[in-house]
Amino acid sequence: MTRKRIVILGGGMIGSAMAADLKRQDRHDVTVAELRAEVRARLETRHGVATRAADLSRPAAIAELVKGYDFVLGALPSVYGYQTLEAVIGAGKDYCDISFMPENALELDARARAAGVTCVVDCGVAPGVSNAMAGYASTRLDPFQSLEIYVGGLPRERRWPYDYKAGFAPFDVIEEYTRPARIVAHGRVVVKEALSEPERMDFPGVGTLEAFNTDGLRSLVHTLKVPFMKEKTLRYPGHVQLMEAIRETGFFSKEPLQVGDVSVRPLDVLAKLLFPKWTFAEGEADLTVLRVVAGGLEDGRPACYTWDLLDRFDPATGLRSMSRTTAFPATIVAGLMLDGVFRRPGVHAPESLGREPGLLERLLRELAARGVSCHAQAPSRAEEPVAV
């Protein structure tokens, strides 16, 4: 097979993990584009990866940059996600992205089809692997009646009072705790308050966690016809109650507050005090938990598919679990795309892959080969068909 030239946009936590994985596979040539010189230097010395300087906040610079490559992997902050997707489509390159952009990427589907490029977005763990599982379930269940996704990135050691550290930008965590959560009930989109409806759940190997509403269904609201769907975030018990109290006190507010003779946004004060406490130390262990439960009828009988994914910090590579579980689905899917296994012009979320025969199994097998193991419960089925 011909070696291809891959460029990774962004050399942060996720981009580094992508580069390390592709370098280890050594099936293609890899370059990381990154503005920060010290980040480039670390990538070159620690992972032996080629880098080049580029200002990735400018779509024009991205369009110019990607010309010299066969495939593009996106690992930029969410704020740059949409404009980067547009630029890569405009440049006519296939693309796999994990940026978690706030916009609806599927709106660029027609443009990608017209350009003949295949793009897969939201290709991390959740969104990402969870979407592929949902897509798979949609090929087995008829009707597909309910989908529940539970996901969390956690520090291995619980430290009072937050029992939490952020595997990605802390401001995005607060954003997640603020934005109203869209779930689907009785076939309709229902808006719930973020942090609402906490429920305790036991996870083998982790213990009891608490799941609460966040706005994580994203593309699934549009691509699946399932009457009951929800996505919840997992944290150690107590975290959500504390964050609710912090929110209730007013610290999530972006409205300037007059304090003495200065004006300050409470959220900025919270961020300044809180985010240093939420930052993982170098080498500090984390873990990632994902549970996906899909229910419906299969051959007329009630059936339920359940996947549990539990991944931990890898001391050998120093890669945190959140980096591993976000980066590896993207590098694996990139491999499938480069091998021509998945090639369909347009903008796709990973449920499109999950619908293809054998692709979820292949994704999970390749994740397992990288130490990210997922336990799929044998589908529970009722003995007798039931009337729908």
Q: What is the DSSP letter of 278?
A: G
* Cβ-based nearer residue to a copy of itself, 247 or 324: 247
What CA–CA distance (Å, rounded) separates 214 from 385? 35
CB of 238 to a copy of itself, least distance (A): 9
Collect all residues with Cβ–Cβ distance below 8 Å to 101 and sequence separation of at least 6.
78, 79, 81, 82, 85, 121
What CA–CA distance (Å, rounded) separates 102 from 124? 15
* Cβ-based nearer residue to a copy of itself, 159 or 381: 159
Per residue, the 3-state secondary structure of 24-64, as one string, reads HHCCCEEEEECCCHHHHHHHHHHHCCEEECCCCCCHHHHHH
* Cβ-based nearer residue to a copy of itself, 176 or 244: 244
CB of 281 to a copy of itself, least distance (A): 18
SS3 content of the chain, % helix, strand, coil (to 5): 35, 30, 35
Please name the helix (run of DSSP H) or strand (run of DSSP E) that holds residue 348, with its range, or none: strand 346-348
* Cβ-based nearer residue to a copy of itself, 242 or 341: 242
* Cβ-based nearer residue to a copy of itself, 38 or 261: 261
CB of 103 to a copy of itself, least distance (A): 27
Q: Which residues pair with 153 in a beta bridge?
A: 288
CB of 313 to a copy of itself, least distance (A): 25
Please name the helix (run of DSSP H) or strand (run of DSSP E) that holds residue 273, with its range, or none: helix 266-274
CB of 173 to a copy of itself, least distance (A): 15
Coil, strand or helix: which one is 69?
coil
CB of 256 to a copy of itself, least distance (A): 10
Q: Which of 261, 245, 329 is nearest to 18 (CA)?
A: 329
* Cβ-based nearer residue to a copy of itself, 263 or 373: 263
* Cβ-based nearer residue to a copy of itself, 150 or 164: 164
CB of 49 to a copy of itself, least distance (A): 35
Looking only at Cα atoms, what is the longest distance across the chain?
72
* Cβ-based nearer residue to a copy of itself, 181 or 274: 274
What CA–CA distance (Å, rounded) separates 307 from 290? 8
Binding stretches for a copy of itself (CB under 8 A) = 160-162, 241-242, 244-246, 248-251, 257-260, 262-264, 266, 268-270, 272-274, 277
What CA–CA distance (Å, rounded) separates 291 from 247? 27
* Cβ-based nearer residue to a copy of itself, 1 or 262: 262
CB of 265 to a copy of itself, least distance (A): 8
CB of 274 to a copy of itself, least distance (A): 6
**Alpha helices (runs of H) in 100-219, residue ranges in sequence order:** 109-115, 129-140, 170-178
